[in-house]
A and B are shown apart, each in its own frame.
Chain A
């Protein structure tokens, strides 16, 4: 089993070793449906073969001039009965196939979704959301089409191809077989060539759809930037290039389908079959009724020949989609949730033991060692890009260290159960993400138990969010736009703060969480924070001096290295880099400051 960060409560396992095994294991989740459906389908074919047979018999009856009305009526009624029976069987067969197809669509989408939830952040960082969407909706839909009508037509094709030929051998004469059999062989050879040509195009077509979707998604997500730079034209061109490539592949596929040789072969088979049967007739080996029945059987090959173009294309597109889905399912991800790991209450000691980390390539963090005692507040300072956020992401194992160890309460984070670890650590990310749900739901996102309105309001008040929430007509039931776009930047951050407060974590990470909030509001949040932080280990990334000053210990990062650490006084005394940060600021402030304030 692959690594993964999430396992649902109940899960069905599928065989992912190859596309076809995987598809079969999905279908075999519903064995009864498959078996019963196949029986229905067989019934349909058997019934269908009866009709030309009956008609041939009717011809013979008429040709031998013993056709009384009652005999003909018998034939008529038999055909009628069989047709209706065939319709009913077909209906049942279609329904079962549709059910299997739809369930498979549902199951595959769920399987993919669960798998995506279990993938590491490293993995997600390399994907494009639009492409994932294309896989999870459109490629999965292709699987549905592949089963119904694709595989349905295909099974029908197989039977419809073989049954008339078998019927010729059984009901008529073995002598008539060479031509249809030859046709079948040539057909299969041509089909192989067709599939060979179709495979790469179908794969490319699905991949191109993903690319198209990704470009589109990005243009829409970045609409504000597009507009403010008046680059609609450029976006259009980008999109058009993708859409044109898609069209070219589509036309290419169409051309391959149009060049389908078996259709031509079928006509040849018909002509030669006619010649052959007439020859046998003139030799007296066949009756005219048999010639007609024979031609009737041959004519039955037209439909499967024709249908095979679409059936095989659907199957090809389906497997191409399946390959894209399997590519995600089978992609390795480095972090596992470690279900058997340690589960206990976190006291809050955090130790970095010579930790190095690289996103890819060069190290972003180099040989970091420090210790945070339970309940301490650790401030992390450093320039943009020095690795502050990165450092915090190693604590809750969003990323895995490349070297060294991160210990919480003396236990390596890799030994902790992820469930226990992450549920006790809350982060307010720099880049706040809200879901397009109500404000109450967003605040309650971090807790698993049901929460009542009072609790939500209490944390919202502490995060200074209550007032603005109440100013909205729907209050806590206001639904925010995607990512929270309908809130101001500071409002979003305060919702995120409330969300983290409510989660009641043992370790709290505040990554520049008040950058968009004015100082007065921040002041109030700070006061609430003091109470909340009490007894919890806190990592604080901030550029505000007052907060840094209050921290028990300060880590000074520079270019991914821990330049120094200690209390404010220690650092002021010995670290030029630390002093440097303040020096610059002080100069500027003091210069701009009215004398009254300085003197205060």
Chain B
């Protein structure tokens, strides 16, 4: 069955926790719920008392009536049972309701923690974590965590019942009681055997479900590609494979979980048989009353049921533990980007200095081998170069999305690690290469960085970009629904929205990473004025393959394989006739009508 487990390895950040560590962690989540939990415990205890009292009452009642069949006694008996069971019901209500409250709150708390931990990770974490798998941890595994709660509460009540009923059994007839209680260790032994298997199978089951989730996430978001290439069948075949594997893995778990109760029930049956036999003997010999015998057997039922529950607890609890392990693994994963200080960056000047920075995403491929660059505050710098030369990577380091391996990156003369990250990032506005919009309206997306911005400010930001004509093209203007990832806008429109977002944000440092690559040149030229205005009085970094957008930069850097080949102003570089001049020449050939004509004719 080896293939069943293919690809079910732990994720890189998964850890193994000892049960004790897990339990301690779980308990901390319950501390804030101490009050409802205490009430639940009291309700459970009182409930157990009343639950125990009813069969006792019944059996005593039978004995009494057999001895003295008086109506009074019977009426009293009935009333007593009614009162007791009403109380018991009320207690049960309290218990169930308060448990739901406690479980709901605990789940909410762990969900939020898992969510925050996820959001707190740097981008390197997301490079190899499929969204679907992460989602699975935050939404589904946290539910599994809650399971430990309900199971534990249940356990408490069951243990109380078992202890109570054990006492009752001993009181009724201590010999029989001892025989019965002697069965408990067997049950415990069986449950311990199952425990190990249960933990492993449930962990595997969670992992495969995370994979199924990831597969669905990916293939549904990439469905257009499958359609375009008519590859639905290949995608489906892949899914069938993983779905079958999920079936097999879940099957193993299912078999394990479905084995306990029958086994325990059979074990309990053996106990009952023994009691019937010995009890019968005792009763026949007059050592025990019929009522006692009845009581004993009734009590026995009350003893077995919670005992099997307790026995199965450990195996079921493993499911919750494996879920907790996954959630805590996510929460505890070490971020690579770590700040050493907490300095606010409210008055950022925007001076940057890379000193011999070495950076790689993966240890095997160095992207920036030894990068040095000084950008004084207020300068506008353009990065050009072949694709894959590391332009975006530099910008990502500035935004502190990734940790670099060697060297120093100074911001306003201070180590970039010394800043409070949200405060620092708020000063930096990036228009990324592929614009991402959240589902909602255009207006909401522009407001994303400044949710409290006024309508007038939003319109002004829009106005800055090509006079805002593009907004008029949208069916509902600012209220146009953009769809998930902005899918209902054209690519260029998405870029314009992303640009407007940063315009509104009005950051101290302005970064454009191919921000207008999908916008037509006509519109792009109209944008230029707005963009240049914003670049004029602050530090800005512009990346573009369309070279006319970079000509006005104070300084142009030509990059190749993470190294700076040339730098200078547009005119200087052209005059130098080096790499830039060549790039520009090629570019120009593409864009000059006269040139094209001259080649043709």
Contact = CB atoms under 8 A, between A and B. Distances in A.
Nearest to A259: B93
Interface string B70-104: 00001101100110111011001111110111011
Interface stretch (A166-174, A340-348, A406-414, A576-584): A576-584
B344 to A, nearest CB: 12
Contacts of B491: 384, 389, 430-431, 512
Contacts of A138: 139-140
Given A247-B108, A384-B490, A271 B388 contact: no
Interface stretch (B7-15, B57-65, B166-174): B57-65
A225 B593 contact: no
A162 interface: no
Contact of B217 (A141, A217, A584): A217
Interface stretch (A108-116, A319-327, A529-537): A108-116
A384 B97 contact: no
B217 A224 contact: no
Contacts of A547: 590
B594 A58 contact: no
Nearest to A149: B258
B373 interface: no
A250 interface: yes
Nearest to B528: A588
Contacts of A430: 491, 518
Contact of B436 (A225, A271, A543, A588): A225
B488 A128 contact: no
Contacts of A419: 230
Interface stretch (B119-127, B179-187, B191-199, B374-382): B119-127
Nearest to A113: B239
A228 B294 contact: no
B127 A62 contact: no
Q: Which of B94, B222, B387 has the most CB of A within 10 A?
A: B387
Contacts of B254: 98-99, 101-102, 148
Contact of B270 (A83, A279, A291): A83
A516 B115 contact: no
Contact of B119 (A86, A219, A250): A219
Given A129-B221, A267-B89, A422 B230 contact: yes
Given A62-B283, A299-B298, A137 B583 contact: no
A258 to B, nearest CB: 3
Interface stretch (B27-35, B271-279, B531-539): B271-279
Nearest to B99: A254
Interface in A383-411: 383-385, 388-390, 396, 398
A544 B592 contact: no
B230 A124 contact: no
Nearest to A65: B284
Nearest to A582: B593
Contact of B519 (A384, A473, A485): A384
Contacts of B120: 232
Interface string B325-345: 000000000000000000000
A267 B54 contact: yes
Interface stretch (B156-164, B245-253, B351-359): B245-253
B91 to A, nearest CB: 11
Given A106-B244, A133-B216, A250-B107, A62 B82 contact: no
Contact of B236 (A8, A132, A217, A581): A8
A255 B123 CA distance: 42
Interface residues of A, number: 202
A251 B283 contact: no
B273 A76 contact: yes
B438 interface: yes
A371 interface: no
A433 interface: yes
Q: How large is the interface on B (under 10, 10 to 19, 20 to 34, 35 or more residues)?
A: 35 or more
A490 B388 contact: yes
A223 interface: yes
Given A90-B265, A385-B490, A485-B127, A79 B387 contact: no
A213 B112 CA distance: 13
Contacts of A388: 490
A493 B128 CA distance: 20
Given A124-B220, A422-B227, A489 B239 contact: no
B78 A110 contact: no
A518 interface: yes
Contacts of A144: 250
B365 A239 contact: no
Contacts of B88: 267
B2 interface: no
Interface in A203-223: 209, 212-213, 216-223
B405 interface: no
B78 A272 contact: yes
B290 A63 contact: yes
A383 to B, nearest CB: 5
A129 B217 contact: yes
A188 interface: no
Contacts of B49: none
B1 interface: no
A600 B134 CA distance: 57
The 9 closest A-B pairs by CB, nearest first: A83-B269, A254-B100, A490-B387, A87-B266, A267-B85, A384-B492, A258-B96, A76-B277, A80-B273
Given A239-B112, A278-B74, 4 more contacts: A83-B266, A221-B485, A268-B82, A582-B593
20 contacts: A58-B280, A86-B265, A98-B254, A116-B223, A124-B223, A125-B487, A137-B212, A138-B140, A148-B254, A235-B119, A247-B105, A274-B78, A292-B290, A383-B523, A418-B230, A422-B227, A485-B127, A490-B387, A543-B520, A588-B525
